[in-house]
Amino acid sequence: MARMKFICDTERCIECNSCATACKNEHEVPWGVNRRRVVTVNDGVIGQEKTISVACMHCSDAPCMAVCPVDCFYRTDEGVVLHNKDTCIGCGYCSYACPFGAPQFPSNGTFGLRGKMDKCTFCAGGPEENGSKAEFEKYGRNRLAEGKLPLCAEMCSTKALLGGDGDAIADIFRSRVMRRGKGSEVWGWGTAYGKSPNPNATAPAAATAAPASFTEGKK
Amino acid sequence: MQLTRKGHSGQRTPSRFSSSLSDTLSRALPTMDRRTFLKRSGIGVGAGIAASQLSLIKRANASAAAGDGKGKIEVKRTVCTHCSVGCAVDAVVENGVWVRQEPVFDSPINLGAHCAKGAALREHGHGEYRLKYPMKLVNGKYQRISWDVALKEVSEKLLALRKESGPDSVFFVGSSKHNNEQSQMLRKFVSFFGTNNCDHQARICHSTTVAGVANTWGYGAMTNSYNDMQNAKAALYIGSNAAEAHPVSMLHMLHAKENGTKMIVCDPRFTRTAAKADQYIRFRSGSDVALLFGIAYHIFKNGWEDKKYINDRVYGMDKVREEVMKWTPEKVEEVSGVPEAEVFKAAETMAKNRPSTIVWCMGQTQHTIGNAMVRASCIVQLILGNVGVSGGGTNIFRGHDNVQGATDVGPNPDSLPGYYGLATGAWKHWSTVWGVDYEWVKKQFASQAMMEKSGTTVSRWVDAVLEKNEYIDQDSNVKGVVFWGHAPNSQTRGLDMKKALDKLDLLVVIDPYPSATAAMAAMQVDGQELNPNRAVYLLPAATQFETSGSVTASNRSLQWREKVIEPLFESRTDHMIMYQLAEKLGFGKELVAKIKLVPGKGGMMEPEPESMLEEINRGTWTIGYTGQSPARLKAHMRNMHMFDVKTLKCKGGKDPVTGYDMTGDYFGLPWPCYGTAAIKHPGSPNLYDTSKHVMDGGGNFRANFGVEKDGVNLLAEDGSHSLGAEITTGYPEFDHILLKKLGWWDDLTEAEKKAAEGKNWKTDLSGGIQRVAMKHGCHPFGNAKARAVVWNFPDPVPLHREPLYGTRPDLVAKYPTHDDKKAFWRLPTLYKSVQQKNVENKLYEKFPIILTSGRLVEYEGGGEETRSNPWLAELQQENFVEINPKAASDRGIRNGEYVIVSTPTGARLKVRALVTPRVGPDTAFIPFHFSGWWQGKDMKDAYPEGAMPVVRGEAVNTATTYGYDSVTMMQETKTTICNIERFAA
Amino acid sequence: QEAAKPAAQPIPAAAPAPAVESVDIMKQNQAERSRDQPGNNAPVWRAVKEGQQHYSSLPAPEAGVLIQAKEQFPGQARATSAGEAWRQYRNGPLTSYGGWLLILAVLGIAAVYLLRGQIKLNAPRTGRLIERFTSLERVTHWTMALSFLALALTGLTMLFGKHVLMPLFGHTLFGWLAYACKNVHNFVGPLFTASVIVFFVMFVRDNLPGKGDLDWLKKLGGARGHASAGRFNAGEKIWFWGGVTVLGLIVSGSGFVLDKIVPNLEYTRALMQYANVIHLVAAVLVFAMSLAHIYIGTIGMEGAYDAMRTGYVDDAWAKEHHDLWYEQIEKGEIPRVRTAEGAKVIQPAKAV
Ligand SMILES: Nc1nc2c(c(=O)[nH]1)N[C@H]1C(S)=C(S)[C@@H](COP(=O)(O)OP(=O)(O)OC[C@H]3O[C@@H](n4cnc5c(=O)[nH]c(N)nc54)[C@H](O)[C@@H]3O)O[C@H]1N2
Ligand SMILES: Nc1nc2c(c(=O)[nH]1)N[C@H]1C(S)=C(S)[C@@H](COP(=O)(O)OP(=O)(O)OC[C@H]3O[C@@H](n4cnc5c(=O)[nH]c(N)nc54)[C@H](O)[C@@H]3O)O[C@H]1N2
Ligand code: HEM
Ligand code: HEM
Ligand code: SF4
Ligand code: SF4
Ligand code: SF4
Ligand code: SF4
Ligand code: SF4
Ligand SMILES: [Mo]
């Protein structure tokens, strides 16, 4: 069974915000809720600037899931971390726990009034029936059920953002790394999946040459 | 691999019934094969993935599964309206409502990719903040009126102005957002009104490029394509921030980089584009000629120039070389601030990694010497022999989605469609094409002289209103302005513009989002005189998603947009409005003499876009807009998957609907696509490319400037010609005489002969001359040399001249600007007097920071459309000034606080400080997309009700200063001066 | 051609052996690193992991933070992303030790009750009453007590509910319950705080340390012989100061932060994590203490509950448990009756 993951290729990401906007469009996400956002590290510093698009990474051992007082998270067969808005009490704990700042709330939280948590669904909807109106209204479109991939990745201007089966996108990424000979770190994977990407995949030279450098922040 | 099943492995335990239901459902849903997966992951680019795709029908089913399954679902293919890249979009429409937007992976241009603006297109289908019905300004407030009243009053006022002050008293600001059909019709409309006072965005965008480049080698367009940049081994971006302004072009460039292409970015700011470069060169705004000639200096010095190419295909390089060799490394550093080593490195990279390409955009064009800067870029490419080569060329990234098309066939003050100019012959040509009598057209004008005199430009309409009557080169001042798809905050000198707006007798704004102009007209400025008789009307136009038509992308490819939805609210299509206004103005019949009318909104008749395109096809021989028939374009749109991503060439295949065989066609038939559609010219992917046969899109430089100059041959040298040409040396452009001389006249059919007699390749309406020339492998426009020296320009060899407003009086002494001009595009235009005065007044002490401006990826142009789109507006909520940490700390300014940016015009902009090393300490940058604040105040109350954009802010152009290009009247927006201080509440 | 090279040796970072990586390399910025080891982005990733705010055009707080900064709560073996550290802490020690503490507290009290039974009055009631708490004092106490209980039960439902209640009620029902609990908790919190403040003002004077307190403690509140006490004994004072005042205010303060109602604060996730940890620790402690208090106030001691229910105590009770206070009343230093209402109740009694 495919394991869904994201890779944001920082050698390609240009802070165009297409991913963030595509998500808003596809799921009618309201103002103030940002399932995906784009961050630039070392903004404007010559030779040091890198841009990264970030959303829920659908972690293997998801902290959000662990702290939720009402256990509204669940994981699909594809490893997508989804949640049930019907049970969510809007306590905000998932957002405190999430390393990536993925969980979002429609309101500011005064007196704990945050509304139901919303976050990236990997375009896989929620517990309602696939493609139903109820599912759309609560969670947005269910593209996976339609045989499509996350729209943010599909619309990424430079194809920096890859979303899909972890092994497959790691292969794609690796082939780019091999061609350009740099930018081999897969951002966020260490934090989200607790290990370097795709250690078992038999990849050409690259993987065996330096598997360790496939993880972020090596030194 | 099956990627679609919904999992139940969570703690959630659905009831048995619902779980079995969803099991069945998930089995019924489509799965994704590996190929589709890879494509959807975006690996199509050059990675050898076969281009198969879900068919449209399957796609519709997929979306049907997503909807509630009841509605009628259609998929309409359209093209993003926010920039010249031309990204295709599939709009899913359910019961007439635009419900979803899907990427078009098949598009060879964007492979499904978008930037933020493209990803937010569907908002156009809602248009919450649009003008919903016609309105009129009454006592400072906008009031709703009916279309009938609006059309009646507007036409009456126009006729009155025409009668009292002559047709030249009205200025029409057209639009690069109109499709080709509307653009061409607007030029016709203005002509029939009797004036050349019309213009559009290109003036303040790439006019210097068009003039400079066309005068160098023939056509003023991007020579290659975004796709072709994959073939470049090196790319020099100078004055282009493609990552924000043409984001999807970066898809091709970054892919190329992965294959070893070296990327150099020269920009005063360290932009998002620069962040991706192998070499970044920071230099002083306005010093492009120095930098480019500095690069050329090293090329010459090391003997890296392409000597044979220069000999065979370039005129005047020796003169240029003399000027270039004056740009020693010390001088280059003095003027541009770039040390020798960096310049050398760039020169070496460009020379040793050929084919290398150069990319420029607004950083070069928007200067008083823009025409010189762009020619300096051309010269570098000519020296390297890079023009006319795949992977080389001058990749001039155009602006608006259809600025290329609107420039080609739209409302230009100095030309009829197709760059025919305004001479009698041109008028006769177009009168025939339009099916009207030349004499009748002439009578519409004040005189034949005015008919053949270039009009005022959009950059200067303000002065045409305000200038003393005796100084202007037409009878009356401009008293009426029609803004037909253009924002006010995109023109410089906002303070003056407000004065002009208040002085007008008539202001008509025809726009889906006319609110920036509306608010600026309605707001009150203390102590400013207001014309008590002024009339202001707002007419809601439909967007390009509410009509169909063709649009020309930067690479000259034409794409056909299908109509996505019906015009929203009370809006009407631009061509319907043109037709209805023309009827009231008395030339309705003439406007559509050769055009089919079809029922449009509410059953009212409107010109049919296909028929309008056919009129363009019939008339635009000069630049080859003749082969792109609606049928061919539609076939391309339906079969995008058949075109190669790198070459744009159709690998072979027939359109299943019409049976049309597209084999060999280039996607969108990039112009020139010569001859009639029947002869199937494939379009020209790269201009002037001699390695291809002309019938395979090959070419050579154009013979547009005679055959010799002062005894020097201007035609190509022996052996230099496009592949397979029967004439193996240079030759002039084709006309009936040349055909006869060559003995090719009899290749024409009898009918063609009749039409071609006395005509040339541009005016022969049968297309016979073009057909025969190409049959013999020759280029209809001749085969000549490119001109490194453009003798008809003020600076034949590009010279560096300091901007009018600068911080370097020392350099003004060495590189002064031009002398003042008296009647230039109908207006006196100042250079030296302004520059001298500024130096005398020591403005550089009061305003010590260079102010430049440009783009943010989220917004477009004046920004009214995009700032009304909440998905985009959320991403940039306030205007700001980029200021270097050092400059900020000198002034006690902290990141995020309000500052006042003041300029010599007296403007005081209140914006947030973005303290960032993106700019150096001597430079500041403000994005230009904002409006709605005026000198620190929110103009909320001045907006028509319900049509205020979500985000408003201070417009940088309120503060920009005087200064215009010496050839095209381009406004100077990229280099002026300012001071920045903390805002004290 | 330079660019073709990497295919063979794709990942430059692998080339230099780790031995060269000295402290200096840790100090390199990205530009320097790119120069020395092209393609090595480690400095950027380090910056990312340090959890700084980077640039994001979104004005949302922390929009620019990619990964939360590292954190190591007391007792944790290593630092992890703050969210993860907090999760480990809350779901680990705080939940389990907290849970055990409460279970032990209940067991302890049960044991005391079983072994010791109710503390009976030794002397028979005299029938003479003293007005110990005015109705205002009682209203305040009960407001505080009931809001506390509401908070404790709702709060603990949020903490332990999914382990204890969800298996019983099922997901949906528990979801509703938790939702109600959360909202009750969020709005009752400030009421509790207000009552604590009023209560504090009312009773602080009688809770100042006084003579006898040490003695009372030494005698374990009477377990080892009679322990004298003033109006409030040392145990109550500890409850007053330690439980209600200090822990109550800690719980309140952190609660206000969790409620996001403290003005001019930047509500970062780190702040919320700290607030939660503080809130939880204090809440569990104060709840454990309150169990003891409630026990003594109800079944633990004969006559105590009357004081809080009616406001009056019998002379016998006063003499037995608060002898110093009783002496003062007898001496007339403290009035036996403090309110008109009290006078009505006590007069007839006197007449009897
Ligand atoms: N997001 C977005 N995209 C757009 C548009 C938009 O409004 N928004 N508009 C479209 C249009 S109409 C156009 S014309 C294009 C424009 O596209 P670009 O020209 O790429 O965009 P700009 O930001 O105007 O300017 C480019 C760069 O020029 C630099 N510059 C400033 N002064 C100088 C100078 O003296 N010399 C040089 N060499 N560079 C200088 C600026 O720092 C800036 O980074 O974008 C198109 N695409
Ligand atoms: N300071 C500074 N100034 C600049 C620039 C800069 O870099 N710095 N750049 C310059 C450049 S390159 C350009 S191109 C200009 C751009 O400036 P403008 O072209 O003036 O800006 P837009 O907002 O794109 O204007 C297009 C208008 O057309 C309307 N519109 C959209 N579709 C349609 C349609 O189908 N029909 C009709 N009738 N209207 C439609 C939109 O609502 C909008 O009001 O700004 C120039 N000004
Ligand atoms: C149902 C539960 C409760 C009962 C039956 C109860 C009972 C009592 C009684 C009988 C007294 C008086 C003791 C005396 O006369 O000396 C008292 C005092 C007090 N109670 Fe409670 N109580 C309860 C809950 C609480 C709670 C939840 C709190 C705190 C949050 C609290 C705080 C106090 C305080 C501070 C005093 C006074 C002690 C002093 O000032 O030193 N009580 N309670
Ligand atoms: C005094 C007794 C109190 C107790 C025993 C108590 C207990 C708790 C507990 C156990 C939690 C759950 C923590 C977790 O699951 O990690 C919690 C959460 C919380 N408490 Fe309290 N609390 C008390 C008082 C207060 C007060 C006075 C306030 C506010 C002024 C307050 C505001 C909150 C808030 C805002 C939360 C977060 C819950 C949410 O928003 O969903 N609490 N409390
Ligand atoms: S990224 Fe955050 S929200 Fe997503 S699974 Fe991981 S912890 Fe949960
Ligand atoms: S906000 Fe909702 S999803 Fe997040 S932890 Fe609380 S209940 Fe769970
Ligand atoms: S995967 Fe879907 S839901 Fe998640 S960020 Fe992308 S578009 Fe939004
Ligand atoms: S769409 Fe792609 S390039 Fe643009 S910001 Fe998102 S990840 Fe980066
Ligand atoms: S604005 Fe340009 S790059 Fe962006 S989606 Fe539209 S056409 Fe493509
Ligand atoms: Mo432009």
Ligand 4 centre from C258 Cα, in Å? 8
Question: Is B484 close to ligand 2, i.e. is its CB under 6 Å away?
Answer: yes
Give A46-49 contacts, CB < 8 A, sequence gap 24+.
Answer: A46/B270, A46/B274, A46/B280, A46/B282, A46/B917, A46/C31, A47/B280, A47/C30, A47/C31, A47/C34, A47/C35, A48/C29, A48/C30, A48/C31, A48/C34, A48/C43, A48/C44, A49/B270, A49/B272, A49/B275
* Cβ neighbours of B37 in A, within 8 Å: 149, 164-165, 168
What is the C-alpha to C-alpha distance for residues B796 and B310, in angstroms, rounded to an integer?
18
**Residue B72: band (very low, low, confident or very high) from pLDDT cuts 50, 70, 90:** confident
Q: How far apart are CA B529 and CA B597, in angstroms?
A: 45
Q: 């019949």: which residue's tokens?
A: B589
Which residues are CB-neighbours of C264 under 8 A, at least 6 positions away?
Answer: none
Per-residue pLDDT at A181 exceeds 80: no
| Residue-range definition of the domain harbouring residue A148 | 4-155
Annotated domain spans of chain B = 19-121, 146-204+405-421+431-540+572-607, 207-396, 809-982
**Rounded distance between C-alpha atoms, residue C54 and residue B47, angstroms:** 34
Instruction: Tell me how crowded residue C176 is: count the other CB atoms within 10 A of its CB.
Output: 15
Residues with CB under 6 A from ligand 8: A 8, 13-19, 38, 51, 53, 156-158, 160-161
More confident residue, C152 or C352: C152
| Residues B868-916: tens digit of each pLDDT | 999 999 999 999 999 999 999 999 999 999 999 999 999 999 999 999 9
Residue B42 Cα to ligand 8 midpoint, Å, equals 13
Q: Return d(Cα B220, Cα B275) in angstroms, integer.
A: 29
Please name the residues between 18 and 37 in chain C that touch chain A, using a CB distance below 8 Å: 18, 21, 25-26, 29-31, 34-35
**In percent, how much of chain B has pLDDT > 70?**
93
Check pLDDT > 60 for residue B429.
yes
Phi and psi angles of residue B171, each rounded to the nearest 5 degrees, phi first:
-115, 130
Contact between chains at C3 and B262 (C-beta distance less than 8 A): yes
Ligand number, closest to the Cα atom of A158: 8
Nearest residue of A to residue C16, measured between CA atoms: A210
Within 10 angstroms of residue B127's Cβ, the number of other Cβ atoms is 24
- CATH code (residue A89): 3.30.70.20
Q: Does C8 touch chain B (CB under 8 A)?
A: no
Which pLDDT does position A190 carry in this prediction?
84
Mean pLDDT, range B493-515, rounded to an integer = 96
State the Cα–Cα distance between residues B894 and B872, nearest whole angstrom: 26
pLDDT for B151-188, tens place per residue? 999 999 999 999 999 999 999 999 999 999 999 999 99
pTM: 0.91
Q: What is the 3-state secondary structure (H, E, C) of C188-207?
A: HHHHHHHHHHHHHHHHCHHH
Ligand 6 site residues (CB inside 6 A) read A 67-70, 72, 83, 88-94, 103, 117
Whether the predicted pLDDT of B4 surpasses 80: no
Q: Tell me, what's the pLDDT at C24?
A: 66
User: Is 3.40.50.740 the CATH classification of the domain at B146-204+405-421+431-540+572-607?
Assistant: yes
How many whole angstroms from B671 Cα to the centroid of ligand 10? 20
Q: Across the interface, which of A40, A87, A113 has its CB nearest the CB of C55?
A: A40
Is residue C188 lining ligand 4, measured as CB closer than 6 Å? no
What subunits make at least 3 CB pairs under 8 angstroms with A? B, C
Taking Cα atoms as reference points, which of B524, B455, B520 lies closest to residue B488?
B520
* pLDDT value, residue C121: 84
Tokens of B689: 């490319």
Across the interface, whether the CB atoms of A108 and C260 are under 8 A apart is answered yes
Which chains does B contact via 3+ CB–CB distances below 8 A? A, C
Q: What is the pLDDT of residues C219-251, one digit of tens each?
A: 887 777 778 888 898 999 999 999 999 999 999
Q: Report yes or no on A198 lying in a domain.
A: no
Res B598 pLDDT > 90: yes
Asked if residue C16 has pLDDT above 50, the reply is no
Number of Cβ within 10 Å of residue B289's Cβ equals: 28
Position A19 pLDDT exceeds 60: yes
Instruction: Work out the number of other CB atoms within 10 angstroms of the CB of residue B133.
Output: 17
**Is A173 among the domain residues?**
no
Banded pLDDT at B20 (limits 50, 70, 90): very low
Question: B383: pLDDT confidence band, cut at 50, 70 and 90?
Answer: very high
Nearest CA to ligand 2 atom 34: B543
pLDDT per residue over A69-102, tens digit each? Answer: 999 999 999 999 999 999 999 999 999 999 999 9
The residue with tokens 């959303």 is A55
Start-to-end C-alpha separation, chain B: 62
Read off the pLDDT band of B39 (50, 70, 90).
low
Give the distance (Å) from ligand 5 centre to CA of residue A106: 18
Using the 8-state DSSP alphabet, how is residue B108 labeled?
Answer: T
pLDDT greater at residue B4 or residue C43: C43
Distance C225 CA to ligand 4 centre (A): 40
Q: Residue B607 contacts by C-beta under 8 Å, 6 or more apart in sequence?
A: B181, B185, B575, B576, B578, B579, B591, B592, B595, B596, B597, B598
A183: confidence class by pLDDT, cuts 50, 70, 90: confident
Does A201 reside within a domain? Answer: no
Give how far A144 is from chain C: nearest CA, Å: 26
Do the bridges between strand B394-396 and strand B480-483 make them parallel or antiparallel, or are there none, so unpaired?
unpaired
**DSSP notation for C263-299:** TT----HHHHHHHHHHHHHHHHHHHHHHHHHHHIIII
The two beta strands, B480-483 and B170-173, are: parallel
Cα(C65)–Cα(C43) distance, integer angstroms:
16
Is A110 part of a structural domain of the chain?
Answer: yes
Flag whether pLDDT at C300 surpasses 70: yes
Q: What are phi and psi of B824, to 5 degrees?
A: -125, 115
pLDDT tens for each residue of C120-135:
888 888 888 899 999 8
Q: Which of B12, B260, B875 sits opposite C2 (nearest CB)?
A: B260
pLDDT of residue B623: 96
Task: Report which bound ligand comes closest to the CA of A115.
Answer: 6
Total domains in chain A come to: 1
Exposure on the CB side of residue A38, measured as CA atoms within 13 A: 32
Taking a contact as any Cβ pair under 8 Å apart, which residues of chain C between 169 and 188 contact chain B?
171
- Please, which residues bridge with residue A74 across strands? A82
Nearest to A67 among C56, C91, C178 (CB): C91
Residue nearest to atom 8 of ligand 9 (CA): B87
Alpha-carbon separation of residue B306 from A68, A129, B903 (angstroms): 69, 67, 46
- CATH classification number, B809-982, choose in 3.40.50.300, 2.40.40.20, 3.90.550.10, 2.60.60.20: 2.40.40.20
Q: Which residues contact B325 (CB under 8 A, 6 or more apart)?
A: B297, B300, B301
* Topology (CATH level 3) of domain B19-121: N-terminal domain of TfIIb (2.20.25)
Query: Candidates A24, A36, A141: which one to mutate for ligand 7, based on the most atoms within 8 Å of Cβ?
Result: A36
Among B12, B279, B354, B875, most C C-beta atoms within 10 A, so best to mutate, is B875
Q: Where are the alpha helices (DSSP H) in B138-205?
A: 147-165, 180-193
Above 60 in pLDDT, residue B406?
A: yes
Q: What pLDDT sits at residue B25?
A: 35
Partners of A48 on chain C (C-beta within 8 Å) are: 29-31, 34, 43-44
Q: Mean per-residue pLDDT for B598-603?
A: 94
Atom 12 of ligand 3, residue of closest alpha carbon:
C308
- Tokens coding B228: 């072709």
In this complex, the residue of C2, C55, C58 whose CB is nearest that of residue B875 is C58
In angstroms, the separation between the Cα of residue B25 and the nearest Cα of chain A is 8
Query: Tell me: domain B207-396, CATH 3.40.228.10, correct?
Result: yes
- A181: nearest CB among C39, C60, C258: C39
Positive or negative, the CA dihedral B85, B779, B633, B549 is positive
By CB neighbour count within 10 A (0-12 exposed, 13-18 middle, 19+ buried), where does B588 fall? Answer: middle
In this predicted model, what pLDDT tens digit does every residue of A114-143 receive, in sequence order? 999 999 999 999 999 998 999 999 999 999
Q: What dihedral do alpha carbons B246, B252, B253, B258 form, nearest 10°?
A: 150
Single-letter residue type at B442: K
CA distance B395 to B418: 21
Find out whether the peptide bond into B794 is cis, omega within 30 degrees of 0: no
CB contact under 8 A, C66 and A54: yes
pLDDT of B119 above 70: yes
User: 10 Å Cβ neighbour count for B439?
Assistant: 8
Please spell the DSSP secondary structure of B30-49, one letter per residue: ----HHHHHHHTT-TTTS--
Residues for chain B: how many in total?
985
